[in-house]
Structure 1
Amino acid sequence: MIDPAVTYPTDNPLLDDLGIRLTKVSHGACELELDIEPRHLNRQGSLQGGVSATLLDAACGYAGLQDEDGKMGNAVTLMLTISYLGRVSTGRVRAVAHVTRAGRSIYFSSAELTADNGDPIATAQGTFKRSREPAIR
């Protein structure tokens, strides 16, 4: 398990550009955080749905990347379902994900996005395919 007191590199330029931090990752679990800035808000002044979706997708995906030996792999999203439950405009949001079932190459995970005060913002369930090959760049 990686030490949760440290922020880890995401190896993902989009997450880095948005300011999303990988704060916990282990075999079957992940936590990401984001301090909300004006650039993350929609026209109504609340966290933009695409930012929420990105946090949930990444958390669900990262939850299944670490094997029992601590080695990180790669994965692609096959399916992601999101339910938006609430709004948030300031503070920090946290996406916590867990693998719910896994096979050799396909895994299923779920995540919850919450505000600082614990209020639920959104949930997600997804299907992911593992790959040991990096994406072509």
Structure 2
Amino acid sequence: MRPAIARIWRGRTRTADADAYARYLYDAGIKPLEETALAVELFREDGPEETEFVTISYWESIEAMARFAGKNPRRIHHLARDPEFLVAMPEGVQILRIVASAGRFDADRGTAEPTGPRAG
């Protein structure tokens, strides 16, 4: 199945806490997404004082995403320990319609199938 929607979450920690948060975020946040999203990716950029984490999950539709995220898919489901780790609590996520991608989509590997431009 081709992903049509990307849901992007961003959060920042103190760099000193980044390794611990990365482990926690994977266990508490990424693993549940692996069970429901078509694919999920976790990115990390370390700075001198803060580290940014970006999670992108891929969905076949807004409806499928809403089954995971609830009636308002832009609403963030903060993890229990987020207040301990995050510098600021994110207020929302970004939802983007995928209009083109390259590669071959394999939900087990998390890569994208070529789709070319999409209408609508």
What TM-score comes out, normalization by structure 1 length? Answer: 0.30
Q: When the two structures are superposed, what TM-score results if normalisation uses the length of structure 2? A: 0.33
Higher helix proportion: 2
| Higher strand content, 1 or 2 | 1
